Structure 1
Amino acid sequence: MSIILLISCSEQGIRNNNPNLPNYAVLIDLNLNLPEYSSLKFVSNAVLIPGKGVRGVVVFNTGSGYNAFDVACPNQALSSCSTMTIKGINLLCPCDNEEYSLFSGQSKLQYPLKQYRVQVNGEVLRVYN
């Protein structure tokens, strides 16, 4: 007797089931040799890429890899105040002054940051969903 077991799983476990944020296609290639992205070679540095995703994408060097998150406040409906800003190693939502860790994407609220995948290919980072 044979038993076939089908398991569905997402790559890297990234889930973006947030009713506040739409799912837009993201594909960004960042060359770390270019001056605007070279700071990403160093731990705890972040770079904002406007005009991508919902409200822009921030890429962050964790020291053991890279994280990429949308800068739309995940616990707010889209509005004039729902675009976050970089505050050290966090993103700050001006709607509610909530901070989200760029290391984990977490805060004390219900929804974490909307995360994108990052693939490292030499000196090029590919951010995608």
Structure 2
Amino acid sequence: MLRSLYTLILCSVILFSCHNNNDDDNGSNFIPDITFDTANTINTTLPQYNDLEFPGGTVVLNGYGYNGIVVYYTGNQYYAFEITDPNHVPTNCSVLTIEGGIATCGCDDANSYSIAGGGVPFDGTDVQFSLKPYFVEANGNVIRVYNN
């Protein structure tokens, strides 16, 4: 009997100490986690990706992530984010429009995020989550963006 009680207590401690360490969606419950890899698609010597050779350059790629991704170059590092507002259930208005280093949703609240600042919301944008980041690797002129 005592042995069963110890076993029950041990199992309870193990069960309640487990937690989900899934931070790949930056905390947002709205954007599904989609696995993708741009592989050798993004080559900055190609005209459609040429903006990524200059600081402040952005390129939007449809067909990756949930609604697409934006790749941004700071001048020494590349960043990539989902172009779906992480603070809305995905709808037509939650797809972000990109102008320079700014991403804005088309919903009534017009949430606005700084792509150049790491995907964080601008002051005055009252939201809980920053943009969902993706992994980026650069090897010469080839940029790989992926999510496992």
The two structures have a TM-score, normalised by structure 2, of 0.75
One-letter amino acid of the structure 2 residue matched with residue 40 of structure 1: L
Match of 1:7 in 2: none
Please tell me whether residue 121 in structure 1 is matched to residue 139 in structure 2: yes
Say which SS state the counterpart of residue 34 (structure 2) adopts. coil
Q: CA deviation at 1:91?
A: 0.4
Identical positions, percent: 37
Please tell me whether residue 70 in structure 1 is matched to residue 88 in structure 2: no
Q: Distance in 2 between matches of 1:33 and 1:87?
A: 22
1:31 to 43, 48, 58: 43
- Which portions of structure 1, spanning 4 or more consecutive aligned residues, are displaced by more than 3 angstroms? none
Give the structure with higher Rg (CA): 2
The two structures have a TM-score, normalised by structure 1, of 0.85
1:101 to 111, 114, 130: 114
One-letter amino acid of the structure 2 residue matched with residue 74 of structure 1: P
**Which has more helix, going by share of residues?**
2
Match of 2:17 in 1: none
Q: Distance in 2 between matches of 1:26 and 1:41?
A: 23
Q: Distance in 2 between matches of 1:92 and 1:69?
A: 13
One-letter amino acid of the structure 2 residue matched with residue 113 of structure 1: L
Q: Which runs of 5+ in 2 are unaligned?
A: 1-20
Aligned residues: 117
CA RMSD of aligned residues (A): 1.5
Q: CA deviation at 1:87?
A: 2.0
Say which SS state the counterpart of residue 126 (structure 1) adopts. strand
Please tell me whether residue 82 in structure 1 is matched to residue 100 in structure 2: no
Deviations 1:65-84 (A, max 9, x none): 01100101110001121110
